[in-house]
Amino acid sequence: MNRPGPGRSLKPFRRPLLWSGLWCLAVAAVVVASLAPPPPMPPVDGGDKLGHLAAYFVLAAGAVQLHARWPALLGAGLGLVLMGIGLEYAQGALTELRQAERADALANTLGVIAGLATRLTPWRDALLALDRRLAPPGRRDAAP
Protein backbone atom coordinates (compact mmCIF):
# COMPACT_ATOMS: atom_id res chain seq x y z
CA MET A 1 0.00 0.00 0.00
CA ASN A 2 1.42 3.39 -1.04
CA ARG A 3 0.61 5.81 1.78
CA PRO A 4 1.53 9.50 1.78
CA GLY A 5 4.50 10.37 3.92
CA PRO A 6 7.57 12.58 4.05
CA GLY A 7 9.03 13.08 0.62
CA ARG A 8 6.05 11.52 -1.15
CA SER A 9 4.90 14.88 -2.46
CA LEU A 10 8.07 15.33 -4.53
CA LYS A 11 8.03 14.53 -8.20
CA PRO A 12 9.89 11.31 -9.17
CA PHE A 13 13.37 12.83 -9.45
CA ARG A 14 16.55 10.81 -9.76
CA ARG A 15 18.24 13.44 -7.57
CA PRO A 16 15.56 14.63 -5.12
CA LEU A 17 18.07 15.70 -2.47
CA LEU A 18 19.96 17.86 -4.95
CA TRP A 19 16.90 19.73 -6.21
CA SER A 20 15.22 20.15 -2.84
CA GLY A 21 18.58 21.17 -1.33
CA LEU A 22 19.06 23.85 -3.99
CA TRP A 23 15.56 25.15 -3.32
CA CYS A 24 16.32 25.32 0.41
CA LEU A 25 19.52 27.24 -0.37
CA ALA A 26 17.49 29.71 -2.44
CA VAL A 27 15.09 30.19 0.48
CA ALA A 28 18.06 30.74 2.81
CA ALA A 29 19.57 33.26 0.36
CA VAL A 30 16.33 35.28 0.40
CA VAL A 31 16.32 35.24 4.21
CA VAL A 32 19.93 36.41 4.39
CA ALA A 33 19.44 39.06 1.69
CA SER A 34 16.35 40.34 3.51
CA LEU A 35 18.13 40.82 6.83
CA ALA A 36 21.62 41.85 5.65
CA PRO A 37 22.47 45.53 5.17
CA PRO A 38 21.08 46.72 1.84
CA PRO A 39 23.56 47.09 -1.01
CA PRO A 40 24.26 50.66 -2.14
CA MET A 41 21.86 51.41 -4.97
CA PRO A 42 20.44 54.57 -6.44
CA PRO A 43 16.85 55.14 -5.29
CA VAL A 44 14.27 53.97 -7.81
CA ASP A 45 10.58 54.54 -7.17
CA GLY A 46 9.05 51.12 -6.54
CA GLY A 47 12.06 49.33 -8.07
CA ASP A 48 12.64 47.22 -4.99
CA LYS A 49 9.06 45.94 -5.21
CA LEU A 50 9.93 44.24 -8.50
CA GLY A 51 12.86 42.58 -6.75
CA HIS A 52 10.57 41.30 -4.00
CA LEU A 53 8.04 40.03 -6.54
CA ALA A 54 10.76 38.33 -8.61
CA ALA A 55 12.46 36.65 -5.63
CA TYR A 56 9.23 35.16 -4.31
CA PHE A 57 8.09 34.23 -7.82
CA VAL A 58 11.29 32.20 -8.27
CA LEU A 59 10.87 30.49 -4.89
CA ALA A 60 7.22 29.58 -5.56
CA ALA A 61 7.93 28.47 -9.13
CA GLY A 62 10.72 26.33 -7.68
CA ALA A 63 8.20 24.72 -5.34
CA VAL A 64 6.04 23.97 -8.38
CA GLN A 65 9.01 22.25 -9.99
CA LEU A 66 9.58 20.10 -6.89
CA HIS A 67 6.12 19.09 -5.71
CA ALA A 68 3.67 16.86 -7.54
CA ARG A 69 0.72 17.29 -5.19
CA TRP A 70 -1.40 20.38 -4.60
CA PRO A 71 -1.52 20.09 -0.78
CA ALA A 72 2.29 20.18 -0.53
CA LEU A 73 2.47 22.95 -3.09
CA LEU A 74 -0.11 25.06 -1.28
CA GLY A 75 1.71 24.42 2.00
CA ALA A 76 4.96 25.65 0.45
CA GLY A 77 3.14 28.69 -0.92
CA LEU A 78 1.59 29.51 2.43
CA GLY A 79 4.97 29.07 4.09
CA LEU A 80 6.56 31.48 1.60
CA VAL A 81 3.84 34.08 2.18
CA LEU A 82 4.30 33.80 5.95
CA MET A 83 8.07 33.98 5.51
CA GLY A 84 7.73 37.17 3.47
CA ILE A 85 5.51 38.79 6.07
CA GLY A 86 7.74 37.62 8.91
CA LEU A 87 10.88 38.92 7.22
CA GLU A 88 9.29 42.31 6.70
CA TYR A 89 8.46 42.43 10.40
CA ALA A 90 12.00 41.28 11.25
CA GLN A 91 13.49 44.02 9.08
CA GLY A 92 11.69 46.64 11.16
CA ALA A 93 12.30 44.98 14.52
CA LEU A 94 15.80 43.53 14.18
CA THR A 95 17.73 45.77 11.79
CA GLU A 96 18.72 49.41 11.87
CA LEU A 97 19.29 49.90 8.14
CA ARG A 98 16.05 48.37 6.90
CA GLN A 99 12.42 49.10 7.57
CA ALA A 100 9.27 47.04 7.39
CA GLU A 101 7.02 47.92 4.45
CA ARG A 102 3.56 46.55 3.82
CA ALA A 103 4.05 47.10 0.09
CA ASP A 104 7.05 44.75 0.18
CA ALA A 105 4.98 42.06 1.92
CA LEU A 106 2.30 42.53 -0.74
CA ALA A 107 4.88 42.23 -3.52
CA ASN A 108 6.20 39.03 -1.89
CA THR A 109 2.68 37.60 -1.75
CA LEU A 110 1.92 38.50 -5.37
CA GLY A 111 5.20 36.85 -6.38
CA VAL A 112 4.17 33.66 -4.58
CA ILE A 113 0.77 33.66 -6.29
CA ALA A 114 2.35 34.20 -9.72
CA GLY A 115 4.94 31.49 -9.04
CA LEU A 116 2.28 29.00 -7.97
CA ALA A 117 0.35 29.80 -11.14
CA THR A 118 3.18 28.23 -13.15
CA ARG A 119 1.63 24.93 -12.02
CA LEU A 120 -0.98 25.59 -14.71
CA THR A 121 1.58 25.93 -17.52
CA PRO A 122 3.46 23.39 -19.65
CA TRP A 123 6.70 24.38 -17.83
CA ARG A 124 5.58 22.81 -14.54
CA ASP A 125 7.76 19.74 -15.20
CA ALA A 126 10.83 21.46 -16.67
CA LEU A 127 13.08 20.44 -13.75
CA LEU A 128 11.86 16.85 -13.92
CA ALA A 129 12.73 16.75 -17.64
CA LEU A 130 16.17 18.23 -16.91
CA ASP A 131 16.73 15.70 -14.13
CA ARG A 132 15.99 12.85 -16.52
CA ARG A 133 18.21 14.29 -19.26
CA LEU A 134 21.10 14.51 -16.82
CA ALA A 135 20.83 10.81 -15.95
CA PRO A 136 23.88 8.69 -16.82
CA PRO A 137 23.59 7.09 -20.29
CA GLY A 138 23.00 3.57 -18.93
CA ARG A 139 20.22 4.72 -16.60
CA ARG A 140 18.01 6.84 -18.87
CA ASP A 141 15.39 4.12 -19.22
CA ALA A 142 15.60 2.96 -15.61
CA ALA A 143 12.63 3.61 -13.39
CA PRO A 144 13.09 6.49 -10.93
Please indicate, yes or no, if residue 94 is contained in any of the structural domains. yes
Please say whether the beta carbons of 43 and 98 come within 8 A: no
Model confidence, pTM? 0.85
Please indicate, yes or no, if residue 10 is contained in any of the structural domains. no
Question: Residue 7: pLDDT band by 50, 70, 90 thresholds?
Answer: low
Please indicate, yes or no, if residue 85 is contained in any of the structural domains. yes
Dist CA 38 CA 36 (whole Å): 6
Count of domains for the chain:
1
Please indicate, yes or no, if residue 27 is contained in any of the structural domains. no
Q: Give the CA count within 13 Å in the CB-facing half-sphere of 135.
A: 18
Please indicate, yes or no, if residue 51 is contained in any of the structural domains. yes
Please indicate, yes or no, if residue 22 is contained in any of the structural domains. no
Q: Is the pLDDT of residue 140 over 70?
A: no
Domain around 127: 47-134
